Structure 1
Amino acid sequence: MSQAEFDKAAEDVKNLSKKPTDDELLKLYGLFKQANFGDNNTDKPGMFDLKGKYKWDAWDANKGKSKETARQEYIALAEQLKAKQ
């Protein structure tokens, strides 16, 4: 999968007519961060930052996954979400 295909999938997700569920959004977020930045090496947010904690966990769940694999999984999930529209 090319960077252009990944970028197009990311753009398509922004333009979905039906908003993905919170779980789908977190999965997209985690894969997007892994595909662009690799393993999460940031400090985990504090317990009062729930949104930050969920996002951190979503990214950390992809630890060890290659950027290419994360791109492929992101594109596949974006295609699934587009098909549900």
Structure 2
Amino acid sequence: MFSYHSFNLQIHKPVGPENATVYWCTVSWETPLYGQLYGVYMFLSILVVPMCLMVFAYSGICRKMWVLHRKRPNIAQHR
């Protein structure tokens, strides 16, 4: 859905010296609010949500290892 809309919003701005034909492809939002909402969406979907999932998963792994460490007798002391 976003790729279709962003494809329609792309514009080519000419940049560089007058004698060179160089274009910069950029997005032109209808209102600045759409650009800010897209930025927040990308921030959440690329950084925050995966980070929360990793924190949840690794904390569960660490908790299980801690419990297992507490339940098992220390093998090095029995030698």
Point out the structure with max Rg over C-alpha.
Answer: 2
What's the TM-score, normalizing by structure 2? 0.32
Highest RCO, 1 vs 2 (Cα 8 Å, sep ≥ 6): 1
What's the TM-score, normalizing by structure 1? 0.30
User: Which structure dedicates a bigger proportion of its chain to strand?
Assistant: 2
